[in-house]
Amino acid sequence: MSVDTQQAPAELTDHELKALDAHWRAANYLSVGQIYLLANPLLKERLRPEHVKPRLLGHWGTSPGLNLVHTHLNRVIRSRGRDALCVWGPGHGGPAVLANSWLEGTYAQTYPDVSRDEAGMERLFRQFSFPGGVPSHVAPETPGSIHEGGELGYSLSHAYGAAFDNPDLLVACVIGDGEAETGPLAASWHSNKFLDPVHDGAVLPILHLNGYKIANPTVLARLPESELDALLRGYGHAPIHVTGDDPMAVHRAMAAAMDDALERIDAIQRSAREDGVCERAHWPVIVLRTPKGWTGPAEVDGLPVEGTWRAHQVPLAAVRDNPEHLRQLEAWLHSYRPRELFDEQGHPSAQVLACVPDGARRLGATPHANGGLLTRELPLPDLESYAVEVDKPGATIHEPTRVLGDMLEYVMRRTGERRDFRIVGPDETASNRLQAVYGASGKAWQAQTLPVDEHLERHGRVMEILSEHTCQGWLEGYLLTGRHGLFSCYEAFVHIVDSMVNQHIKWLRTTRRLGWRAPIPSLNYLLTSHVWRQDHNGFSHQDPGFVDHILNKSPEAVRVYLPPDTNTLLSVADHVLRSRDYVNVVVAGKQPCFDWLSMGQARAHCARGAGIWDWAGTEDGGREPDVVLGCAGDVPTQEVLAAAQLLRRHLPDLTVRVVNVVDLARLLPQEEHPHGMPDAEYDALFTRDTPVIFAYHGYPWLIHRLAYRRAGHPHLHVRGYKEIGTTTTPFDMVVRNDLDRYRLVMDVIDRVPGLAVRAAAVRQQMEDTRLRHHDWIRAHGTDLPEVADWTWDG
Amino acid sequence: MSVDTQQAPAELTDHELKALDAHWRAANYLSVGQIYLLANPLLKERLRPEHVKPRLLGHWGTSPGLNLVHTHLNRVIRSRGRDALCVWGPGHGGPAVLANSWLEGTYAQTYPDVSRDEAGMERLFRQFSFPGGVPSHVAPETPGSIHEGGELGYSLSHAYGAAFDNPDLLVACVIGDGEAETGPLAASWHSNKFLDPVHDGAVLPILHLNGYKIANPTVLARLPESELDALLRGYGHAPIHVTGDDPMAVHRAMAAAMDDALERIDAIQRSAREDGVCERAHWPVIVLRTPKGWTGPAEVDGLPVEGTWRAHQVPLAAVRDNPEHLRQLEAWLHSYRPRELFDEQGHPSAQVLACVPDGARRLGATPHANGGLLTRELPLPDLESYAVEVDKPGATIHEPTRVLGDMLEYVMRRTGERRDFRIVGPDETASNRLQAVYGASGKAWQAQTLPVDEHLERHGRVMEILSEHTCQGWLEGYLLTGRHGLFSCYEAFVHIVDSMVNQHIKWLRTTRRLGWRAPIPSLNYLLTSHVWRQDHNGFSHQDPGFVDHILNKSPEAVRVYLPPDTNTLLSVADHVLRSRDYVNVVVAGKQPCFDWLSMGQARAHCARGAGIWDWAGTEDGGREPDVVLGCAGDVPTQEVLAAAQLLRRHLPDLTVRVVNVVDLARLLPQEEHPHGMPDAEYDALFTRDTPVIFAYHGYPWLIHRLAYRRAGHPHLHVRGYKEIGTTTTPFDMVVRNDLDRYRLVMDVIDRVPGLAVRAAAVRQQMEDTRLRHHDWIRAHGTDLPEVADWTWDG
């Protein structure tokens, strides 16, 4: 294989070259050791079967390439005095990043028992992919990491998220050619159209082509170089190619490529920052082609391994049982010449450490990878100044998200200098009625602009791209490096990032158990344009199931809020923006909605998370109510209040209680979720034996799944979305899903003992109204006047 | 704006040109009519407010571009005698596709009351985005469609799926520049490396750049043309650019581009089919740049609309109230000169219809878009010949998916000529142990091959790309056009396609209600490498929640199976591969697993979906059991049987029943799901008042959500995955999640009345074993010998 780089080799001295190679060999040695060894880490004895782990787990294939990149990043960080962070996309190569962290001393600093000596080396090896030890991937436990290497696709968007508003940071990002086939990764290349060379740092993608996935060649590795080059230029990058399998030649080429890339980056940033150049930059990308499992066994059992997919995981699989494999492993380990790399006590030699940067410049020590250390409190307004005035319930109407937009404008404005707050969304910020924020910041955009464009801004902090994946990745990277943000999304399409949020929640769950990780700002979703208000988009845009998905995850990290009106939305937003280490899901409408609570009432109600709305019911403080009407969500709340009003009119002697739930996890037992209510509190709200008709925003069985342990559960009847979606009016939607006020009244009559006969006429009247609705809407395409003009008369 | 195409204009006669323009104007007229008009469809009267819909809904912006593409596709289909299908990515432009379908007569053929005359035109207009009418997007209701235009990202992978194994089909695919920003779309460009020019049809992507999304410019539209050109060449395509805003010039250029593209396609196919050329082809792509909302109002209320994002939905929003808007709408409609296009009775003129193809060549009439019409029964083997021999339960061990691989090899082989079966997966076919299929077909691959490669084949029908999105899109397109397939995926990462499967289920739910849509083969998932067997991948690879996601969806379309051993897996596979119009989720292990049932028993058990395993319990046919042990999933079944064995040994007088559930929906009430059990049947299995300890593969609360209405629910105690994932042994995983045999025995002792005291010593012994496990695994990294060597002694 040839060495090929457009750049003249950097003038590495022989001494430097040897030192780089020593570092790389040491990292390779430590990588192999982690996969195989339980004992005898320095090979002081001949290798015996009992030195080898009983279960061989881990990924060798990508490790030597990652070690090469780490070695060469060390060099430029040290020589150029750069602050850097690296996102390791091929995170299966955990052994490599762990090896480097151990070498640079950050591992022992974080985990003192894994010291930088023989005993620590043995522990490093033993713990790897071992029960009770550390995962085989780059993970939250790995110093310097903000990116779990399990599910592939998110490295580059994470890297951009880390770079935004970090002008002095270099974010390197290694992208494996497997990951490069995924959709989220493919989309995220265009992030460079959103990177501001003035206020943001630099992202240096390093596309590492080692040619194979688990069992197949990769697409990008099998393109002619000219085609790959065109692709990367089409993505807006200036490619620098490094290809080879001779270590010394590759070291020279890689050092030259790194220097070239960093000089190009410096030039771009200088011209933007000092000369005010506004043209979109073509940032460098390094394409590194080296063999999969490079320096590992060339052949095993007569089959080629190095440079093939067979090097993906554990190249020698039977070391404990097959003496030939054992011999090959020993030879492989010795090929790195460990005696040159480590002294008798297992300390790395001075030559090995020559390229390693100092202090916080070490990739494992950068505070940006432990972002909570850098987090500042977000400036939030006095809510009263954004609250809508509510003298009595249901007398006024606002669009909740529009008012929230005003409040977010304040946050955006107050962070104008600090630049630590961003809003992301897939082209929906204005559609979701948050456009007030443009008063404080435009939308990030580095590509061409035309006179007709509005609110595009080179330095903007509202981020819009029609890729939920990219939005999510950007925001995760931004939060993981200690800043704040909000993702506003159509409710149905947030499922696009189901798997991404899974991984983020896993990350939070794990980091919460690590003492050295500082809490980071929460990932906040505002889900609007929701299931009940898809008047023209119809069925394809109707899905309230993200909440179900989230509530399956680690209770310590997930929160779900359904504010029923404008002031409750403000209160919830204030709460989630202050919080740390959660994924908060806020579901709220953008359409005009009655105001039910004053700001003071809203705060108190949200603090409780669920409560009785006395003013809406007909209890007199005496005996238990005849029926409880529960509700969660803006549309269900309105239907419940309308039902309460009908009951008051038609069945005045019925005692009705209305309970509104904002914080859905409150319905869970307290043992199941930190917000879960004690049984006594649940019983005080919902009673133990009164019929409860509960109108819920989403799939009704979720409420059963939350409340099944409660004493009153047998009396709980839930209405919600039954997957009957279509293009129609808002009220027709609730009728079709049996969530409408008339149906709720019928439910009460059907379930309160003794009402069936006494209230038969009322029931018939409700039924008739529903039938009348069906006729009317077919004829007029609008809702019944009595529904369209409905107001609360309480 | 200029007209720019690399090709000399096709030699359109003036006559042809005028006819094309007439067709386009007619489609535009009908598109506007759908968005606005309730009555007066031919403008026989002056337009009055009452002719206009009370709620104006729909997307104008993309419609004229889609109409242009449809017009020009008509032309080449007709002139070249091509069979074609079109995937309309910007499906928001429903009015356009509906207009064309109405014009070509397929709409009236499908919906006779929407006839091709004035009355039908009025119905076409009225029903659009109207309650009880048709969705505003291209949808299942739209003749000729296989692609819902709601959630964006999947058009191109659907198009490839339709083209695979359809050698005579041209699949055009319009990709909007909004959709082009999504990850799934970005990844799917590389599908061309998997398209076999011999056995597959052609895909012609038409990237339609109209410059804007809802509220923003699009990334691709704001690249310099040279950069976009490089990107498309990097994707492996040969771009043909058409740019303009003068209709006649664009017609000429588009006709030339279409001719050019089709000639290039013909040349590629000819050289591969006739000359045996094996080089990867560079298929054409058309880049069409026309203004958003082209031919619509240039300005509204003083703001530019045509050619901006303001044209996205309804350009004139206040037509019923604002006389100026009404006047503008009337002028806009008249600008198409409807009197030239339709006669007094509303029939399209001969000139308008001149370009429309005949019969099944019409895009709305192609049987490929109603794929069930073309579906043949899949050749499936006699299961007995693949069954593993089981003389008694638990005496033998097999890897279930490996045996399934043998059976799939048969299917693959038997469809070698017919080519109507494909397996897709993200680089995991072999990892999931299905590699036997390579005996019948290699993996599709058109890119470079190297001597070390295995099983790559230009004509292969196993599809592997590291993009779950692309796999899903390919398979959906393949099924929707009437063929069969299977998606094998790691269980955790199938969440990547949560939102895609949502849309497919919605599609199925809707098509099942349309008499004219023939049932298509089911979408079958094999989820393996599951939560309990991620020994080295750990937490990031552990998530059993896809089942929860699926069971939230339309019950008529979703099925979930958890076969507990090899023969049950074969039986389930046989069933799902025969089925139609479902999404079937099969969760099964790939690791060695005890065989419990013979093929005959497996068939009977799977047919029931849930049943008592007499041989595993200790009932003597007399009184009700003291406890029921329920299980669903391979690992939980093994733990339950081990628990039953422990109970038999330690508490021999306890009467234990073991119930295994294969078909999860059986637990639902029969009113809630077609597979739901009647209460009597449920009670006969689980009793009404005996404690049930249920060991479930996934999140335990799912079982509660399914069974909460059953009489015995208060006595149901479920164990499952509690989101405690890590890198460890299989048995340690079940211990950590309290699903292990010892914990299950303790649960029995805690819940069966009277046992607490009597069995205190046994309970302590179980507790001690769990403690011993913890010590052992920390020391050895392996499971307790008594667990590792466990066998069933029944």
pLDDT tens digits for range B13-34: 999 999 999 999 999 999 999 9
List, in order, residues 6 or more apart from B348 with CB less than 8 Å away.
B26, B103, B116, B341, B342
- Predicted confidence at residue B623, as pLDDT, reads 82
State yes or no: pLDDT of A10 exceeds 90: no
Determine how many CB atoms are found less than 10 A away from the CB of residue A724.
Answer: 14
State how far residue B503 is from chain A, nearest Cα, in angstroms: 6
- Predicted confidence at residue A149, as pLDDT, reads 83
Nearest-by-CA chain A residue for B701: A705
- Closest C-alpha among A200, A83, A84 to residue A478: A200
B6 — pLDDT class (breaks 50, 70, 90) = very low
- Optimal mutation site among A57, A158, A540, A724, interface B, most CBs of chain B within 10 A: A540
CA distance A415 to B514: 54
The two three-digit tokens of residue B607, written as one number: 């047919």
According to DSSP, residue B504 is labeled H
Establish how many alpha carbons lie within 13 A of residue A766's alpha carbon, considering only the half-sphere containing its beta carbon: 27
Q: What are phi and psi of B629, to 5 degrees?
A: -105, 110
Q: Where in chain A is the domain with CATH 3.40.50.920?
A: 609-788
State how far residue B24 is from chain A, nearest Cα, in angstroms: 25
B403 touches chain A (CB under 8 A): no
- Predicted confidence at residue B4, as pLDDT, reads 44
CA distance B542 to B720: 13
- Predicted confidence at residue B120, as pLDDT, reads 98
pLDDT in tens, B323-371: 999 999 999 999 999 999 999 999 999 999 999 999 999 999 999 999 9
Nearest-by-CA chain B residue for A227: B234
B2 — pLDDT class (breaks 50, 70, 90) = very low
Q: Are A39 and A291 in contact (CB under 8 A)?
A: no
Q: Please classify residue B515 by burial: count the beta carbons closer than 10 Å to its beta carbon, then call 0-12 exposed, 13-18 middle and 19+ buried.
A: exposed
Among 3.40.50.1370, 3.10.20.600, 1.10.3720.10, 3.40.50.970, what is the CATH number of B393-593?
Answer: 3.40.50.970
Strand, coil or helix: what is A790? Answer: coil
pLDDT in tens, B437-453: 999 999 999 999 999 99
A431 touches chain B (CB under 8 A): yes
User: The dihedral of CA A332, A334, A337, A341: what is its sign?
Assistant: positive
- Predicted confidence at residue B8, as pLDDT, reads 47
Pairing type for strands A284-289 and A202-209 reads parallel
List, in order, residues 6 or more apart from A92 with CB less than 8 Å away.
A59, A62, A136, A137, A149, A150
pLDDT in tens, B729-780: 999 999 999 999 999 999 999 999 999 999 999 999 999 999 999 999 988 8
Q: Are B639 and B734 in contact (CB under 8 A)?
A: yes
CA distance A672 to A554: 10
User: The dihedral of CA B61, B235, A190, B155: what is its sign?
Assistant: positive
Q: Are A695 and A719 in contact (CB under 8 A)?
A: yes
Buried b (16+ CB within 10 A) or exposed e, B767-787: eebbeebeebbeeebbbbeeb
B402 — pLDDT class (breaks 50, 70, 90) = very high
Buried b (16+ CB within 10 A) or exposed e, B292-326: bbbbbbbebeeeebbbbbbbbbbbbeebbebeebb
pLDDT in tens, A307-330: 998 998 999 999 999 999 999 999
Question: In CATH, what is the architecture of B14-367?
Answer: 3-Layer(aba) Sandwich (3.40)
User: Helices H, strands E: what count in chain B?
Assistant: 26, 22
Q: What is the mean pLDDT of chain A?
A: 95
Q: Are B377 and B577 in contact (CB under 8 A)?
A: no
Strand, coil or helix: what is A778? Answer: helix
State how far residue B13 is from chain A, nearest Cα, in angstroms: 37
State yes or no: pLDDT of B436 exceeds 80: yes
Question: In CATH, what is the architecture of A609-788?
Answer: 3-Layer(aba) Sandwich (3.40)
Of the candidates A137, A536, A545, the beta carbon closest to that of B136 is on: A536
CA distance B11 to B255: 9
List, in order, residues 6 or more apart from A156 with CB less than 8 Å away.
A87, A89, A173, A175, A185, A188, A189, A191, A203, A205, A473
Looking at this predicted complex, what is its ipTM?
A: 0.96
Q: Are A419 and A412 in contact (CB under 8 A)?
A: no
CA distance A257 to A72: 10
Strand, coil or helix: what is A87? Answer: strand
Number of CB pairs, chain A paired with chain B, less than 8 A apart: 363
Determine how many CB atoms are found less than 10 A away from the CB of residue B516.
Answer: 12
Q: Where in chain B is the domain with CATH 3.40.50.970?
A: 14-367, 393-593
Q: Are B502 and A495 in contact (CB under 8 A)?
A: yes
Global pTM reads 0.97
Of the candidates A132, A537, A540, the beta carbon closest to that of B503 is on: A540
User: Taking CB atoms and an 8 Å limit, are A538 and B150 in contact across chains?
Assistant: yes
Q: Are B386 and B570 in contact (CB under 8 A)?
A: yes
CA distance A195 to A173: 15
- Predicted confidence at residue B161, as pLDDT, reads 98
pLDDT in tens, A707-752: 999 999 999 999 999 999 988 899 999 999 999 999 999 999 999 9
Q: Are B406 and B386 in contact (CB under 8 A)?
A: yes
According to DSSP, residue B677 is labeled B
Tokens 């497997």 belong to residue:
A178
A184 contact residues in B (CB cutoff 8 A): 183
Q: Are B153 and A540 in contact (CB under 8 A)?
A: no
A699 touches chain B (CB under 8 A): yes
Q: Are B31 and B60 in contact (CB under 8 A)?
A: yes
State yes or no: pLDDT of A8 exceeds 60: no
CA distance A231 to A175: 15
**CATH code of the domain occupying A14-370:** 3.40.50.970
Within the 742-781 window of chain A, which residues sit less than 8 Å (CB to CB) from chain B?
777-778, 780-781
List, in order, residues 6 or more apart from A623 with CB less than 8 Å away.
A655
Nearest-by-CA chain A residue for B721: A552
According to DSSP, residue B134 is labeled B
Within the 157-216 window of chain B, which residues sit less than 8 Å (CB to CB) from chain A?
178-179, 181-190, 193, 213-216
**DSSP per-residue string spanning B588-617:** ---S-EE----HHHHHHHHHHSEEE-GGGS
- Fold classified for A389-593: Rossmann fold (3.40.50)
Q: What are phi and psi of A706, to 5 degrees?
A: -80, -35
Helix, strand, coil: what percent of chain A each, to 5? 45, 15, 40
Q: Looking at B37-154, list the stretches that DSSP marks H as alpha helix, in order from N- to C-terminal side.
A: 63-80, 94-104, 106-110, 118-127
Rg (C-alpha) for chain A, rounded Å, is 30
Within the 209-248 window of chain B, which residues sit less than 8 Å (CB to CB) from chain A?
213-219, 222-224, 227-236
State yes or no: pLDDT of B10 exceeds 70: no
pLDDT in tens, B469-479: 999 999 999 99
State yes or no: pLDDT of A497 exceeds 80: yes
pLDDT in tens, B183-235: 999 999 999 999 999 999 999 999 999 999 888 999 999 999 999 999 999 99
CA distance B587 to B605: 16
- Closest C-alpha among B236, B230, B241 to residue B208: B241
Distance, C-alpha B49 to centroid of its chain: 43
Q: Are A744 and A629 in contact (CB under 8 A)?
A: yes
CA distance B571 to B589: 15
Helices A498-511 and B498-511, axial angle in degrees (round to 10): 140
Residue type for position A2: S
Q: Where in chain A is the domain with CATH 3.40.50.970?
A: 14-370, 389-593
